[in-house]
Amino acid sequence: MSAERPTLPPVRLHTEAELARDALAAPLLARAVRLAGWAGPETRVGAGGELVEEQLPAAAEHLGLTADEDGAAEASEAWRLAVDAGLVDVEDPEEAAGEDAEGTVAAGENLALITGGSPQDVLSIWLDGLEAVHADATAPFFEDLADLVGEDGSIDFESLDWDPDAEAEFLDGVLGNLYLLTAGDIGTDVAAVPLPALAASVIVPDDMVEPTDDILEQVSEAMMRLDDQFRVLEPIGIVEYRPVDEALLAEAGEDAAPPADDEDITRYGMVKLTPLGLYGIRARMLEAGVDAPAIGDLADKGADVLLGGIAYYPETAARSEVELWLARRGEDGAAAELLAAARGADQQAPLRRLHCQQALALVGAEAEPAVRAVLDDPELGGLARVWLAELGAADVPAPPEPMIFWLAIDTMAAQLEADGDLDELQGLVEDLAGRHNGFFDEAWRVEHPATADVLEAMGRLHSDKKKAKEARKAAFKARSRTRA
């Protein structure tokens, strides 16, 4: 039942039905679907599956795009996505047909799924499209690709001064930081992030107080890269993006320097991860083996997995996870299962007991019989008394003195394991020490695995030097007793 700290905070995802609707409404996928329905036996494609240039005006017209280079480019992007997402199947011409031969097009297997499949089917197709767009966003712009292709058909990447892995890693790092900012705002409307701040988050070293001119130049270059990349990513629906003001680019040439303090930051680009983007980035992280939890992951698990899983969740996220667990599990027998899972002498056990007590509050009065059944339990008896008192129950027996001290150590151990706020921890330490006369004279005798560690922490945190010294002495006695 041990818990591991999650790499990322949990996120609250929209339902699959809502996400599928968002995916279908994403401009690029919507256009790709329309083009897939438009394509037929007369559609002409090149050897690489791309629409031939003569077909682009008709494709753009079908999509309601402008009859110019921009419209043709957007139609070409939509067609590429239709191919990459399996909405159309392209059969290349036979080699013997010659260089000018054209391929044939048929409806892809995914076209029927995108229009009549389940939300999971739609999201799976959208994720395929996201991968393709992500690759496009990290690709360099070529004036003439033919000049870069060798005799064997391969591209000489070294001559491009372009590292595809490094480019993908850079963009993934930026999207990861954007994900972190979004994940931390469960239940709130997520604000857009200024592009300079996002660029700085992956360029400026954490320990650098004042950026150097070289670092500022790198941030400026990163902003321009991200401006191009977010313009490519926005049509697939993962971000809401306000591009860098074109006037700034005209004023500064190719690079826009980071803004001064008194400038309008929005002119330098603003970006926000959408709910669909949160889902998509998380899916990519899971595919890469990253631990990226979501609210609801534990709803069908046992109480031991639940309490272990939420051990390091923020309070709001932990409460939401417990509510979903109770909704699926039902309140009948839930209290007894939670209490059984809260037992243990491992490092995370105090934190499980803390979350158990909070979960029991959500169960309500129905938990009282199960809670009363553990009043004599050495690990759960103190928790049970506190819970019953908070419920306002009658006939709650007074705890024996050893249980009072055991509960104090257990409570402090839980807060330390959770890496609580320093000021709150200090307040708890001073409250515990001040509530009981001679606290440290008795606390070192407590039969709890964390006694010595808790007393050492109290010695560090107590603002009263005399009390802090008493805590350190008590910690030494506790360790000596354990060794003996």
Residues 272 and 239: beta-carbon distance below 8 Å = yes
In the numeric block, the tokens 């029927």 are attached to 112
- Spacing of C-alpha 429 from chain mean position: 33
Provide the β-strand partners of residue 104. Answer: 91
- Which is more confident, 453 or 149? 453
- Which is more confident, 80 or 437? 80
In the numeric block, the tokens 């591991």 are attached to 4
Residue 2: pLDDT over 50: no
Residues 294 and 12: beta-carbon distance below 8 Å = yes
Q: pLDDT-derived band of residue 100, with 50, 70 and 90 as boundaries? A: low
Query: Average pLDDT, whole number, for the chain?
Result: 88
Tens digits of residue pLDDT in 251-302: 655 555 556 555 678 888 999 999 999 999 999 999 999 999 999 999 999 9
User: Which pLDDT score, from 0 to 100, does residue 383 have?
Assistant: 95
User: Which pLDDT score, from 0 to 100, does residue 150 have?
Assistant: 64
Tens digits of residue pLDDT in 169-227: 999 999 999 999 888 666 557 789 999 999 999 898 878 878 888 888 899 899 999 99
Grouping H, G, I as helix, E, B as strand and the rest as coil, residue 240 is: strand
Q: pLDDT-derived band of residue 142, with 50, 70 and 90 as boundaries? A: low
Amino acid at 159: S
71 Cβ contact list (under 8 Å, min separation 6): 57, 60, 63, 65
Mean of the pLDDT values across residues 315-321?
92
**Which tokens go with 421?**
């706020």
**CA of 333: how far to CAs of 48, 251, 366, in Å?**
61, 68, 9
- Spacing of C-alpha 25 from chain mean position: 23
> What residue spans of 49-163 are helical by DSSP H?
56-62, 69-84, 109-116, 119-137
Rounded Cα distance between 454 and 477, Å, is 13
367 Cβ contact list (under 8 Å, min separation 6): 331, 334, 335, 360, 387
Amino acid at 18: E
Grouping H, G, I as helix, E, B as strand and the rest as coil, residue 179 is: helix
Mean of the pLDDT values across residues 27-34?
96
Tens digits of residue pLDDT in 331-383: 788 999 999 999 999 999 999 999 999 999 999 999 999 999 999 999 999 99
- pTM of the entire structure? 0.85
**Which tokens go with 182?**
């979004």
Residue 159: pLDDT over 70: no
Q: Given phi > 0 = left and psi -120 to 50 = alpha, else beta, which region is 375?
A: alpha
- Which is more confident, 28 or 206? 28
User: Which pLDDT score, from 0 to 100, does residue 67 have?
Assistant: 85
Q: What percentage of the chain has pLDDT greater than the value 70?
A: 88
Q: How many CB atoms neighbour CB 451 within 10 A?
A: 26
In the numeric block, the tokens 């372009």 are attached to 162
Between the two ends of the chain, the Cα-to-Cα distance in Å is: 29
Mean of the pLDDT values across residues 91-106?
72
Q: What is the DSSP letter of 337?
A: H
**Which tokens go with 14?**
């929209």
Rounded Cα distance between 408 and 422, Å, is 18
Q: How many CB atoms neighbour CB 52 within 10 A?
A: 13
Please report the DSSP string for 405-420 in residue order: HHHHHHHHHHHHHTT-
Tens digits of residue pLDDT in 379-406: 999 999 999 999 999 999 999 999 999 9
User: Which pLDDT score, from 0 to 100, does residue 99 have?
Assistant: 63
Mean of the pLDDT values across residues 65-74?
90
Tens digits of residue pLDDT in 424-476: 888 888 888 888 778 899 999 999 999 999 999 999 989 889 999 999 999 99
User: Which pLDDT score, from 0 to 100, does residue 13 have?
Assistant: 94
Rounded Cα distance between 23 and 236, Å, is 8
Q: pLDDT-derived band of residue 47, with 50, 70 and 90 as boundaries? A: confident
